[in-house]
Amino acid sequence: MRLKSFYAANSTEAMRLVREALGEDAIIVSTRDDERGGVRVTAAIDDPVVSSPAPQPRTTGSMPDANPDNDTLDLIAQSFLRHQVPNALAERLLATATQYASEDSLLAVGASFDTHFIFQPLSEDIPSVPLILIGPPGAGKTLCAAKLATKAALAKRPVTLISTDTERAGGMAQLRAFANLLQTDILEIEDPHALEDALHIQPAGQVTIIDTAGCNPLDPSQRDALAFLVKASKATPILVMPADMDAATATDMAGVFHGMGAAALLATRLDMTRRLGGMLSVAYSSKIPLCNFSASGKVSEPPQPLNPVSLARLILPLPATPAQQATGTE
């Protein structure tokens, strides 16, 4: 990763210099007015060797950047590349992080995430308003329903688990097994009106979690059925999506669920991917608030809250342990 600043009379000319010297893959880290007049564009490229930079005019063009903040920006830009954050988004995030680059990288990235994403973690004592978990097949809805129920049960809260996944062979079996472990009843709901009635009779203060069948957002009948169910429930829809999807597919999918009223995004399988670019892309494009993340298949490990700093920790490399530093391993 190499950062380089370019000076020109205007931003069009500066961008031309960037592309000429670093190519189309360069990420624009910041564009700002230069105190000597004109503009300064700082760009990053994932190539330590910049091939034959174009000759620059005397008063404009590339200059060595002696900015001490560049180490921080370099680390951040590398992290975004490693997570395959789409270029346009990486540029925006980096541009904001640049304003905080004199701070440490965690603060700079956290400040940037705070600017560009919305965070609404589920409250520690899971809310009494019913939550309805929706999302594509296999996303982790049932496991997250069980995780949330387990957490509430451990906090001695009364829990009702509801499943609407009654048509698919085996759809109920998994949640029933979790409910048995928790010694909690499970309500099996056959239609949206039954769900409405079941929620109506829940005592105040009850933690109510509704698990739904996986929905293929490209199938209009599945989409309509889920939208109707969500509306009838009047519960808060939490979109459960795996973090290991590619950015474009995940963004399209989230758009459909957002249209059904998804109020928050719970990302799963963070322990199974090293690339969170898809998840960041979804949060940025859809503007669905990020709530929590799941990083284990164990029901006893509840989804962790997402906030600017916890998300920055997931994106930046972990500091090496003393043992790793000593042996030079990661």
Ligand X SMILES: Nc1nc2c(ncn2[C@@H]2O[C@H](COP(=O)(O)OP(=O)(O)OP(=O)(O)O)[C@@H](O)[C@H]2O)c(=O)[nH]1
Q: What residue ranges bind Mg ion (CB under 5 A)? A: 141-142
**What are the tokens at 186?**
């499970």
When asked if residue 295 is in the footprint of ligand X (CB under 6 A), the reply is yes
With contacts defined by CB under 6 A, name the span among 39-47, 122-130, 132-140, 197-205 that binds ligand X.
Answer: 132-140
When asked if residue 138 is in the footprint of ligand X (CB under 6 A), the reply is yes
Report in angstroms how near the CB of residue 214 gets to ligand X at its nearest.
2
Q: Which of 137, 190, 246, 248 touches ligand X (CB under 6 A)?
A: 137
CA distance linking residue 38 with residue 11, whole number of Å: 8
What secondary structure does DSSP assign to 236-287, as a single string? EEEEEEETTS-HHHHHHHHHHHHHTT--EEEEE-GGG-S--HHHHHHHHHH-
x-marked contacts with ligand X along 264-283 as a string, rule CB under 6 A: ----xx-xx-----------
CA distance linking residue 265 with residue 50, whole number of Å: 40
Residue holding tokens 């409910």?
Answer: 179
Q: What are the C-alpha distances in Å from 66 to residues 4, 5, 69, 71?
A: 10, 10, 9, 10
Q: CB nearest ligand X: which residue?
A: 214
Contact predicate 164/195, CB 8 Å: yes
Give, as ranges, the residues between 152 and 171 that touch ligand X (CB under 6 A): 165
With contacts defined by CB under 6 A, name the span among 44-52, 116-124, 135-143, 318-326 that binds ligand X.
Answer: 135-143
Determine how β-strand 304-305 pairs with β-strand 290-293: antiparallel
When asked if residue 219 is in the footprint of ligand X (CB under 6 A), the reply is no
Instruction: Give the number of residues in contact with ligand X, rule: CB under 6 A.
Output: 19
Q: Which of 67, 222, 296, 304 touches ligand X (CB under 6 A)?
A: 296
Q: Determine the angle formed by the axes of helices 277-286 and 247-259, rounding to 10 degrees.
A: 40
With contacts defined by CB under 6 A, name the span among 130-138, 227-235, 246-254, 304-312 that binds ligand X.
Answer: 130-138
- Provide the binding-site residues for ligand X, judged by CB under 6 A: 135, 137-143, 165, 174, 214, 268-269, 271-272, 294-297
